[in-house]
Structure 1
Amino acid sequence: MIFYELYLRSFYDSNEDGLGDLKGLKEKLDYLVELGVDHVWLLPIMKSPAFHGYTVSNFYEVNPVYGNLNDVKEVLSEGHKKGIKFVLDLPINHVAVTSDWFQKALKGEEPYKDWFVWANEKADLNEKRHWDDSKIWQKIGNKYFYGIFGPASPDLYFERKELWQEIKNIFKFWLDAGFDGFRLDAAKHIFDFDTETMRFKYQHEKNVEFWKEMISFIKSIKNEALVISEVWDAPEIVRKYEGIFDIGFNFPIAEDLKTTLKDENTQRFVETLNKCIPEYLPTGKVFSASGNFLTNHDMTRILSDLKSEEKVKLGFSIIYTLPGIPFIYYGEEIGMKGIPIDVNFTEDSQEPFHWYENGFGLGQTEWKGYKFNPPYSGNSYEEQAKDRNSILNIVKNLIKFRKNNSWIDNAKIDILNFDQNVVKLKVYDQLNEIIAYYNLKSSNSSFFLENGTRLLSIGENIIDGKNLKLAPYGVYVVKHK
């Protein structure tokens, strides 16, 4: 499986209003096929007042700037014909302030008034969330509601079981529309509040109970549906949710890999593998597949972070040669840049996809100015397609390699050796085995090459008889048997 995280507003515009839309995606399905993508993770497309779509005002209605439900069904149908499956991002932890549910709750209407958490005398109105200084209690009129993600996002109160049924109705609606599964936003936040003490508190056991019931329902509608979780936390917390979801995003490996590449530290790379994907080591057991990625819509784009195209290529090479499921965020394949202010202001990592080198043309979205990706910066599809060594063409080669070796998804790894420059890794299952060499340094590294058939070579690597001169940040993969 090869996943592509796609932000519709920034992708391709079919009606010249400057905004990407569903018909635009339909026109560019062949681009995804050309890239090698077979699964698309579509960021929220439901009606929302927010540019990012994560505050939903109506879960059963398509955002009109993107099109309508018929457009959804058409693009999914066409994508399916081309071998592409689609996973919808569903942020059900909270709604928009403009949501009909919340507006009725403000008026005291049943059952909606009980679907949210309201402050009482126990509440500390100055309580702040643990990852920054943002308050968790949000004022509206003369009331305060619990909104862990800010004043635009009233949290739903999932102690109310009738709300569980409403969420099931939402899942069924989008499965019936043709989606092949869901990405579940903020999965650990369904139960993150203690109404006894009126304070923030993760309740992972309750979260697990909720998600087991929801996933059982999803699978009863479409047995082959894929369910992907977002649990952004330390490995010990992520493991509390293993086995519930088909795929769990591996945030620890994303963060550790980027630090490893910046520091060019082979020791840290080995420690990262041991810490972040132990389920794929010889004695490990896989309960949920590891969703491996470098960046997403909440993060600094990879080229802005690493500041080196060669390190970016190395990073993608690692992702596409490790077991688990590889994900790529739209625009990373053409070297787009972007640095969000923080998780509350992510526009700068969601700039329009660059189809043209001058930044403008048919289908080009223009909803946001080019802050990080100005015209003639070399990070357009038009320009990248011409250069065989561009990030785009390297990513294409990596995806082709991975699709030709799809057994890697469920493989095991052995760390065979490492020195100050190179890590040597064995990736294998019962029938297949490859040896991957990763050079984490800016200098060449030479060594004796074991017998085998070359499967992948990234960088200006040189073979001289039995010796391999691995290029700076180069990767070499051989089939061992």
Structure 2
Amino acid sequence: MIFYELFVRSFFDSNDDGIGDLNGITQKLDYLQTLGIDGIWLLPIMKSASFHGYTIIDFYSINPLYGNFDDLKKLIKIAHEKNIKIILDIPINHTSVKCQWFQKAINGDKKYVDYYVWQNEKTDINEKRHWDNSPIWFKYKDKYFYGLFGSSSPDLNFENPELWEEMKGIFKFWLDLGIDGFRLDAAKHIFDYNIEKGKFEYQHEKTIKFWKEMVDYIKSINENSIIVSEIWDSPEVVKKYHGLFDIEFNFPLSYEIKDAVKFQDPHLLVKGIKNTLSHYIKGNVESVSGNFLTNHDMNRLVSELNNDINKVKLAYSILFTLPGYQFIYYGEELGMKGLNLDVNFTEDSQEPFQWYENGFGPGQTEWKGCKYNPPYSNISYESERNDIDSLLNYIKTLIKFRKDNIWLSNARIDNIRNNRYFISYSLIGKNNKFDVYHNFKNQPININIKNTEIQLLNGSFVKNKNIIKLNGHSTIIIKNIKN
């Protein structure tokens, strides 16, 4: 499956207020269908105190800027008619300080006091977030609350069994509306503060128990629901959660692909494959790897690779020739740019989708200026749709290749080989075998190949008898039909 990560605010505006909305997505479903995607991952659409939507005010609502429940039902209905599934981002680790739960808690309502984590006699209010030394304890009126993700995002207290039932109600609410599944934000953080010890501490066993109960509940309502987890951590930590979710985002692989391409070092890709796709090497796939190159928290790929379009195409060639499912961040198919220079400010990677070369036209979102993707920069649907060499049409080619070879999602990886600038590996299915060759160098390399059925994915090559000269940043596939 191929998913499209979509930030509603930036995509398409149906009512001329400059802000993308649900009806705007509905109007552009033909575009997404033509692109070839199988599913849309909607970033949070609930009422929120933040532009990005991850500080929820009301889990049972829709941001009025995006539309209403009838608009959502219409989107789901028409998407399903086009065989496109809709999964929803649910950030349940915390709420906004404006959430009614928190406001009731701060005013002493016992039920909701127990929904949050508060300072006690063991608390060190000077403790910092481990990865960037940011504060995790914040004073609101006369109380200190725990907020791993900032002063406006108090963490929920999942030691409270009532909260487990509340979460089940939230999942059921959205499933009953027709949502096909969920992307679970910050999934490893459900139990990340040890109240008894009074310190930050990942408690993976508790978190796994919580998610198993939630997943079982979701599947009891819709056994075909799709559950995607965000566990942004090392391969060792991610492996603790194998088999729990349908799809696990593969963050380490994302970094290894980009660094391998950026530094022309295929050894990094070998490391990424062996460390994060070992279950595909063994042929024992418990959870599907959710492979991607960037998302809303990261730099856009073109900016990450210093505007080198050949490297960008090579990175996508790698992404689409590995087992697992692919996720594409909106606008990446156009080559949109953006750098997140501040972890607390991600607007620059969430600029409006560029439909028109001059930056204006029906449906163009305008909620913020385009610092990285200004008009007349040849980064737009209008400028790329009829250009056979555009990134947009290249991404379409890769998606078609993948959909023509669905077996690749669960293929076994074997015969991994590399040298200074080159990597090859085999993708093996029940009745198929593809040998994949990537050239990381910007100069040609020679490959000795006996087989004659070659598919070029990216770049170019010259064949002379059994010798193939594979040009720089190019990818070819040798097809073998197993007897």
* TM, length-normalised to structure 1: 0.98
Structure 2 counterparts to residues 373-388 of structure 1, below 5 A:
373-388=373-388
In the alignment, the residues of structure 2 paired with residue 305 and residue 123 of structure 1 have an alpha-carbon distance, to the nearest angstrom, of 40
The answer as to whether partners of 1:324 and 1:410 remain within 8 angstroms in 2 is yes
Which structure 2 residues correspond to residues 99-110 of structure 1 after superposition, within 5 A?
99-110=99-110
Write the distance in 1 (CA, Å) between the matches of 2:311 and 2:142.
53
2:166 paired residue number? 166
Q: State the AA in 1 paired with 2:439.
A: N
SS at match of 2:318: helix
Is 1:202 aligned with 2:216?
no
Contact 1:136 1:146 in 2 (8 A): yes
Q: CA deviation at 1:452?
A: 4.2
Q: Distance in 1 between matches of 2:342 and 2:237?
A: 23
Q: Letter of the aligned partner of 2:24 in structure 1? A: G
Question: Which residue type is aligned with residue 19 of structure 2?
Answer: L
Question: How is 1:254-265 mapped onto 2 (pairs within 5 angstroms)?
Answer: 254-265=254-265
Is 1:301 paired with 2:300? Answer: yes
Q: Which consecutive residues of structure 2, in runs of 5 or more, have no partner in the other structure?
A: none
- Cα distance in 2 for residues equivalent to 1:225 and 1:347: 31
CA distance in structure 1 between the aligned counterparts of 2:360 and 2:313, rounded to whole angstroms? 27
Match of 2:241 in 1: 241
1:456 deviates by: 3.8
186-195 or 255-264: bigger deviation = 255-264
Distance of 1:91 and 1:343 partners within structure 2? 17
Ranges in structure 1 where 5+ consecutive residues have no aligned partner = none
Q: Which residue is 2:253 aligned to?
A: 253
How many residues align? The count is: 480
Superposition pairs of residues 271-350 of structure 1, within 5 angstroms: 271-281=271-281, 283-307=282-306, 308-350=308-350
Question: Whole-Å Cα distance in 2 between the matches of residues 158 and 452 of structure 1?
Answer: 59
In the TM superposition, residue 108 of structure 1 has moved relative to its aligned partner by 0.7
How many angstroms does 1:342 deviate by?
2.8
Separation in 1 of the partners of 2:205 and 2:111?
26
Aligned to 1:321, what secondary structure does the other structure show?
coil
> Are the counterparts in 2 of residues 270 and 415 from structure 1 also a CA contact under 8 Å?
no
SS at match of 2:54: coil
| Kept after mapping to 2: 8 A contact 1:247/1:291 | yes
Quote the residue 2:351 is aligned against: 351
User: Residues 16-165 of structure 1: matches in 2 within 5 Å?
Assistant: 16-165=16-165
RMSD over equivalenced CA pairs, Å: 1.1
User: Contact 1:450/1:466 (CA < 8 Å) preserved in 2?
Assistant: yes
Note if 1:221 corresponds to 2:238: no
Question: Bigger CA drift: 319-328 or 453-462?
Answer: 453-462
SS in 2 for 1:480: strand
Tell me if structure 2 keeps the 8 A contact 1:301–1:338. yes
Aligned to 1:412: 412
SS at match of 2:60: strand
SS at match of 2:211: helix
State the percentage of identical aligned residues: 54
Moved more, 13-22 or 446-455: 446-455
Please report how far the alpha carbon of residue 417 of structure 1 lies from its aligned counterpart in structure 2 after TM superposition. 2.8
- 1:152-202 Cα offsets, whole Å, 9 max, x none, are 101000111011111001000101111110000000000011111211110
* Corresponding residue number in structure 2 for 1:457: 457
Deviations for 1:333-385, whole angstroms, at most 9, x for unmatched residues? 10000011333211110000000111111100000111111111111111121
Counterpart Cα distance in 2 of 1:450 and 1:176: 55
Helix, strand or coil: the match of 2:476? strand
Q: Secondary structure at the match of 1:457?
A: strand
d(CA) in 2 for partners of 1:170, 1:334: 35
Instruction: Report the Cα distance in structure 2 between the residues aligned to 1:416 and 1:101, rounded to whole angstroms.
Output: 53
SS at match of 2:269: helix
TM-score, normalised to structure 2's length?
Answer: 0.98
Question: Per-residue deviation at 1:284?
Answer: 4.7
Range that drifts further, 432-441 or 466-475: 466-475
Query: Is the Cα contact below 8 Å between 1:2 and 1:327 reproduced in 2?
Result: yes
Report the AA paired with residue 195 of structure 2. Answer: T
